[in-house]
Structure 1
Amino acid sequence: MTSLAAEYDPYILALPGPDSPVVLSQWISSGNTHYNARYWESVWPLAPIIDNPSTSLHKIFWRKCPASLLGEVKLVTWTMLNGRLRPTYLKDRGVQARGRTSASDMRDTCNEWMRLARWLHERRFTSLSDCTEEVWRAYLSERWKDGVSRDYAEKICIALSDLWAFDQLSARPANVTRPPWEVEGIDDILPPADGSASGENSREPLDPQTLGPLLIWAIRFVDDFADDILAAWAERRRLVAVAAANKGVPESLAALADHLLPLIEAGEALPAIRMHGKMSLARTYVSALTGASLSQVGHFSERHRLSDLANERPGPCPLQVPVTGRIDGKPWRTHMDFDEAPELMRHLGTAAIIICLYLTGMRPQEVQGLRSGCCPEPEPDADGTRGRHLIRSRHYKNVTDADGNLISAGEEREVPWVAISPVVHSIRVLERMVPPGELLLSAAHHDFMQQRGHHGALKHQGLNTRVEDFASWANREAKAQGLPDQIIPADPHGAIGLARFRRTLAWHIARRPGGLVALAIQYGHMRTVLDARTASGYGSRSRGGIHSVLDVETALAAADTAAHLRDRMAAGEKISGPAARRAVTAAATTPRFEGRIVPATFAKKAAKFLARDGIVLYDNPDAFLICAFKHDNALCEPEPGATAPRQYACQQGCGNTVRTDTHARQMREKADEIDLKATVVPEKLAKRMRRSAEKLRKAANAHDATAQSAEALT
């Protein structure tokens, strides 16, 4: 009967034998070479179904399961690893329900099943079929008493329902009974929700007073310190290789004594590194400097108690590399140090990660999946100008195959990320830290001390720790450099965390006096990626989603644009363009943003404000104009229903264009700047540049010829 059922029902799997593979071949990608265990083994690695570099290589340990229930739990787990839930089972379970889930979800589900098995064993039950309705209710009540949240209790119910569902797909089912919440509903089983449960991405944005100095230090590391740190790391590695190759000969021992004995006798500091919480003689450094072998340095150190002396009077280990980085015009280090180089490399990678996370809006696992070469230099256009840098990357969330099964390896995003300059610089630094084609956050190549060769990319928890360590280092450095205003204060909502960068958008810092990152940089990038709203749930949050935050940021920027236009007209400036009359109306009717705290209720008002088609003003400094955005007039091809222009695709002749005297002046200044640059480039390119300058002057002249005062337009 089992064979017939398995043959005629594709969802029922044939019974495995002791030597059957834990993961069947159809679920293993061609490039996955991880060890695939056998059914009889006590540890089941899930690595064969893990292709996401940001995911840890999970395992299932069967020692946690009582022997009386081991056979049944093992079989249903094997069925979960290799089977698929029926579409009829998934139909009414929401869009997030999957026939096959991720390896981490499978591991967590199996662990819940084993927890149930231990609970049953303690009560002398010997089979999963003993889970009657009363037993299900008793177990769930026990789990609720453990203090789990309402959200987590719902996940427990889903895992236990999957036990029932996958048991039905087994060639030898244990006859698990249907849990009562499958009939009554979870809300009738669990205590009522108190409204405190948080939805996806309900985490708080980073406080601007924390983010500001954090970003300052991250950009400083990438732009100012990177060359020094990378040179120091290369020199350290060279010295380590030299020390390892040194041979112990009498001449090298004499050189060692000549180098260290005068320091010992004079009571001077010894070259030291920190080991196990205290300072110790820098043996490798000394070996490389003197030519002595490592064993000679070790014996010499023991004979003269140099480790104790180094701990009492530790000295530097200067590297022969230049220091080019500056803080407030002064060198940030007197020398690069052998002992500090690994720590600085770790912080350099963290700084680049912070910039990539915050200034792209990527999810953490999308940054973890970036590879060297993901952001090539753009090809020049016909006029010699270069386009924007684009990041080709993979995304992983909700990536499924044709049958709705989760694809661990993800897939390349159809729309590449647009990279602004700080992000490009960060990627270039990361590319110098790993081999070509390697993951930019390769765990093996970012392990600067122990070189343990870990799998894939640096993992989420480790990166969280690195960000906190980076902030601590920056605070110590700020105090040492006399920069109290650049200390990173603790965030009032807790640890910084990788995922909070994505939640923290430009409006957090754009409204601060002397804001650290111009709104134009973040606004242009985020709107480029998100304005099309290719999915209404992209980055959604229970309090309205990421789009509501973008609407707030956009509305505030538009209010500023209207206020600035109103001020210019009051100062006597004239305006021109086909949308000039609409712009005057918008400037007169738009309230001024006075810098107050933006309440959560403002999101709905912002969306309503932006929906006023034709009288919302968007500043476009790159095109030297204001866009009085009216959807039907726009030549930038906005998406249906869009309430903002594609500012990066602004077209000449658009009916939404507005210019002021200030724009005309800026265009002439830009033309003069282009002409000046044209004097130092090849003639062919110079001609194209001069043509561009002439176009700017013609547009400025057209403004002068047609501009009118606000009074004349009303």
Structure 2
Amino acid sequence: MTAAPDLDPYLLPLPAPGTPVVPSHLASAMHAHLNGRYADPEWQLAPLTDNPSGRKHAILWRNWPASFEGEMRLAVWNLINGELRPVFLLQRGTRMRGRTSSIHLYDTTRNWKQLAHWLDDRGARSLADCSTSLLHEYGLHLRDANCTRKAVLKILVSLTRLWAFDQLSARPNGIGRPPWDDLGVDDYLPAATPGGGENTTEPLAEQTMGPLLTWAMRMVDDLSGDILAAWAERQRLIKAAQATTATPAGHAALEAYLRPLVASQMPLPATTSNGNLVLARYYISGVTGASPGQVDGFRYRRGLTAMVEQRPGPCPLDVPVTGRIAGKPWRTALDYNEAPFLIRHLGTAAWVVCAYLTGMRPQEVLGLRAGCCPDTAAGPDGQPGRHLIRGHEFKTATDDDGNHQSSGAEREVPWVAITPVVNAIRVLERMVPEGHLLFDHSAHDAGNRPGTGSLKVSALRGRIEDFVAWANREASRHELPGETIPDDPHGHIGTARFRRSLAWHIARRPGGHVALAIQYGHMRTAFGSPSEGYAGRSRDGIHDLINMETALAGVDTAAALREEMEGGGGVSGPAAGRALRAAAVAARFEGALLTPAGARKLMQNEDVVIYDNPHAAVLCLHKRDTALCNHDKARDTPRLDRCDPRCANIARTDRQAAQLRERAATLDAQAGYVPQPIGDRMRANAARLRELADKHDRTRITLDRSAV
């Protein structure tokens, strides 16, 4: 008797009309209810991921060429259900995976659809007509279509995947082998262009980021108690109204509440419905104990509809106002109608705080759950330990076989949370049930629209713009023109720019403050700790972005020094000669788009990078062995927030000497308006600054007098 041959686990069966689109072992628990059947006109791809903030993509078969729909339907089902052979992947030596993520899968199907339309336009009616020679023409078409090299490469890889899965199909269509898979891809790619990425994203301007973060922290730290109380009271009134039945006592209370307002022609409690002003029936019902039907009856009998439109009034809530802005109560009373907007802005403010002060990516913030940042126990020295945030990553999560893991994976190294972030998380934990997503869609969307998971990145963009508009109205209302959030010169604030902005400010404003006296230098220390820092062993942690920004800032400073010296400027200090040599070398690096590895290498070259310290008005040409700010000699970068004027690494320019004199003049002017002991100290400090500037003038060297 002959033994049956082993079944090939990579060969796929032929699906039936009722076969699920996503197999049960791949369907996520969060979105499994959206799974469709093979014959459905629309396929939801959400069951392929547990990413709570991921977009719910779908394949609409009506948008595909009719002649290719049947073949492409089977090809896409194979893509979803199948896995490429390991030997196929090894032979190509690329990062192609046997099974891809839902977002990459969706992009792949879009590329297949574009191919189908191109073939259809050329008169082809089957993938069997798509020969290697025809794919060669399509490859050249893509190369010349004014797309980036990276975009074209992704399309070509997706078409290779189409051919590869055809070899595993129960009904192969016979598409030709892509020529770039056999002969190489270079002939089908456009010329390389400067890449994108986080180090080319424009950081938010200081004048925008500063007041934005101030308002976000104010919402979380000072106003959240009032807002949460107002939201809870609004919800209580609505539930009470919905549960109330008509009683004589309720009718009497309603008469006692509304009759005096009508008789005295006072404003009536109003709200909006479908854009129209109407009597706030649920509010009145909850306050009086009358049923909504009794409120409607009173409105009809008294003709209140027209009265409300003529004199709409507030709906004050019975909650105390404890929050203050500029030392004064921020409201005389919280209003029933404003509560949904305030709770929405509070969630947005918490997101801004978390996104900016941790350096997380937007989807990483949206994937956090209540309980992700537990309280810390005191250490051996009695001081509380650093708060850490544990969450999931989705973009780079893979299983043991290297395939994308839709459920994500907990990060090996947690994020660091400074106090404002912890406060924001605690506020969010009061907004959602225990264990739920901090930005759970159902908790943060007051309209209760259907959906699963968290808020989406696209929704947050609009919420941030709305929050800015609200904050600017509050700044005007409370006469705080200096706290208005101006438009950013590079466009909308968005969500992706916070991470780059943090790195930019940490690298370039070490002595500056984020908001409410949080120093950027302190934040760099928190993120940079080898044992506790953000993603210390992660290839794409915030520390890599900080390193890139630090390196770029150093090169920019050297380039600026070169321009200043070529214009006749001078430089002084023990490191003046080194500064001139570094400025001359910097021309080779100016404008470079760095990788994390390149940034680390550049910062290790102590003859190239110059660090600007605007707080101390000096340049730092850091040498680890002689740096007075680096006591343990373990850092490759200086501690600019601990700059020591005795350090041998310091240099000063004419521009910085002028800044010292400006500060001295400001101190002298202020000294006349403070008590004498304080004024004397300010004048002494001003004299010291002028002496430093005078010393610069006496000892400065220029390009003509230097030894360069």
Both structures adopt the same fold (TM-score exceeding 0.5) = yes
Partner residue, 1:113: 112
| Structure 1 residue 41: Cα displacement | 2.7
| Structure 1 residue 306: Cα displacement | 3.4
Q: Against the structure 1 CA distance between its residues 104 and 337, is the aligned structure 2 distance closer, same or farther, given a 3 Å change threshold?
A: same
| Structure 1 residue 14: Cα displacement | 2.4
TM-score between the two structures when normalised by the length of structure 1? 0.74
Q: 2:417 aligns with which of 391, 416, 419?
A: 419
Partner residue, 1:394: 392
Q: Against the structure 1 CA distance between its residues 605 and 586, is the aligned structure 2 distance closer, same or farther, given a 3 Å change threshold?
A: farther
What secondary structure does 1:279 align onto? Answer: strand
Percent identity, please.
46
Letter in 2 for 1:19: G
| Structure 1 residue 379: Cα displacement | 1.0
| Structure 1 residue 305: Cα displacement | 4.8
| Structure 1 residue 391: Cα displacement | 1.1
Q: Against the structure 1 CA distance between its residues 460 and 89, is the aligned structure 2 distance closer, same or farther, given a 3 Å change threshold?
A: farther
- Per-residue deviation, residues 291-333 of structure 1 (Å, max 9, x unmatched): 2212232343355453443333221111111111111101111
Q: Against the structure 1 CA distance between its residues 326 and 587, is the aligned structure 2 distance closer, same or farther, given a 3 Å change threshold?
A: farther
Task: Judge conservation of contact 1:531–1:644 (CA < 8 Å) in 2.
Answer: no
Partner residue, 2:304: 306
Please list every run of 5 or more consecutive structure 2 residues that lacks an aligned counterpart in the other structure: 558-572, 583-588, 614-621, 647-708
Letter in 1 for 2:636: T
Partner residue, 1:245: 243
Give runs of aligned pairs for residues 253-268 of structure 1, distance below 5 A: 253-268=251-266
Q: Against the structure 1 CA distance between its residues 55 and 605, is the aligned structure 2 distance closer, same or farther, given a 3 Å change threshold?
A: closer
Q: Does 1:69 align with 2:68?
A: yes
Distance 2:136 2:502 in 1: 44
Give runs of aligned pairs for residues 116-265 of structure 1, distance below 5 A: 116-121=115-120, 123-133=122-132, 135-136=134-135, 151-183=150-182, 185-193=184-192, 195=193, 197-199=195-197, 202-265=200-263
Q: Against the structure 1 CA distance between its residues 146 and 282, is the aligned structure 2 distance closer, same or farther, given a 3 Å change threshold?
A: farther
Partner residue, 1:488: 485
Partner residue, 1:328: 326
Letter in 1 for 2:359: G
Q: Does 1:372 align with 2:365?
A: no
Letter in 2 for 1:547: N
Q: Against the structure 1 CA distance between its residues 96 and 353, is the aligned structure 2 distance closer, same or farther, given a 3 Å change threshold?
A: farther
Q: Against the structure 1 CA distance between its residues 317 and 92, is the aligned structure 2 distance closer, same or farther, given a 3 Å change threshold?
A: farther
What secondary structure does 1:495 align onto? Answer: coil
| Structure 1 residue 165: Cα displacement | 2.1
Distance 1:636 1:308 in 2: 77
Q: Does 1:498 align with 2:468?
A: no
Letter in 1 for 2:522: I
Distance 1:280 1:589 in 2: 74
Task: Judge conservation of contact 2:45–2:59 (CA < 8 Å) in 1.
Answer: yes
| Structure 1 residue 140: Cα displacement | 6.1
Q: Does 1:463 align with 2:464?
A: no
- Per-residue deviation, residues 500-542 of structure 1 (Å, max 9, x unmatched): 111112553736876634123321222136688635554699x
Distance 1:305 1:243 in 2: 22
Comparing 160-169 with 483-492, which one deviates more in the overlay?
160-169
| Structure 1 residue 124: Cα displacement | 4.3
Partner residue, 1:643: 636
Distance 1:392 1:442 in 2: 17
Letter in 2 for 1:40: A
Partner residue, 2:702: none
Q: Does 1:289 align with 2:287?
A: yes
Distance 1:374 1:471 in 2: 28
Query: How many residues are treated as equivalent by the alignment?
Result: 605
Distance 1:538 1:261 in 2: 64
Distance 2:633 2:23 in 1: 48
Q: 1:351 aligns with which of 333, 349, 352?
A: 349
Partner residue, 1:580: none
Partner residue, 1:526: 527
| Structure 1 residue 95: Cα displacement | 5.8
Comparing 46-55 with 455-464, which one deviates more in the overlay?
46-55
- Per-residue deviation, residues 97-118 of structure 1 (Å, max 9, x unmatched): 3221111221232233234334
Task: Judge conservation of contact 2:413–2:535 (CA < 8 Å) in 1.
Answer: no
- Per-residue deviation, residues 482-510 of structure 1 (Å, max 9, x unmatched): 11111111112221121211111255373
Letter in 2 for 1:426: A
Letter in 2 for 1:338: Y
| Structure 1 residue 35: Cα displacement | 4.7
Distance 2:429 2:550 in 1: 31
What secondary structure does 1:27 align onto? Answer: coil
Partner residue, 2:662: none
What secondary structure does 1:452 align onto? Answer: coil
Q: Does 1:85 align with 2:84?
A: yes
RMSD: 4.2
Task: Judge conservation of contact 1:506–1:522 (CA < 8 Å) in 2.
Answer: no
Task: Judge conservation of contact 1:318–1:336 (CA < 8 Å) in 2.
Answer: yes
| Structure 1 residue 352: Cα displacement | 0.7
Partner residue, 1:472: 469
Q: Does 1:443 align with 2:436?
A: no
Letter in 1 for 2:500: R
Distance 2:321 2:48 in 1: 47
| Structure 1 residue 473: Cα displacement | 1.1
| Structure 1 residue 453: Cα displacement | 5.2
Task: Judge conservation of contact 1:361–1:526 (CA < 8 Å) in 2.
Answer: no
Distance 2:139 2:261 in 1: 70
Q: Against the structure 1 CA distance between its residues 484 and 599, is the aligned structure 2 distance closer, same or farther, given a 3 Å change threshold?
A: farther
Letter in 2 for 1:371: R
Partner residue, 1:410: 408
Letter in 2 for 1:518: Q
Q: Against the structure 1 CA distance between its residues 90 and 304, is the aligned structure 2 distance closer, same or farther, given a 3 Å change threshold?
A: farther
Letter in 2 for 1:549: E
Q: Against the structure 1 CA distance between its residues 531 and 381, is the aligned structure 2 distance closer, same or farther, given a 3 Å change threshold?
A: closer
- Per-residue deviation, residues 417-440 of structure 1 (Å, max 9, x unmatched): 111010110111111111111111
| Structure 1 residue 161: Cα displacement | 2.7
- Per-residue deviation, residues 50-72 of structure 1 (Å, max 9, x unmatched): 11112133332323334432221
| Structure 1 residue 153: Cα displacement | 3.9
Distance 2:400 2:539 in 1: 21
Letter in 2 for 1:16: P
TM-score between the two structures when normalised by the length of structure 2? 0.75
Comparing 214-223 with 135-144, which one deviates more in the overlay?
135-144
Distance 1:540 1:110 in 2: 35
Task: Judge conservation of contact 2:551–2:599 (CA < 8 Å) in 1.
Answer: no
Letter in 2 for 1:17: A
| Structure 1 residue 445: Cα displacement | 1.1
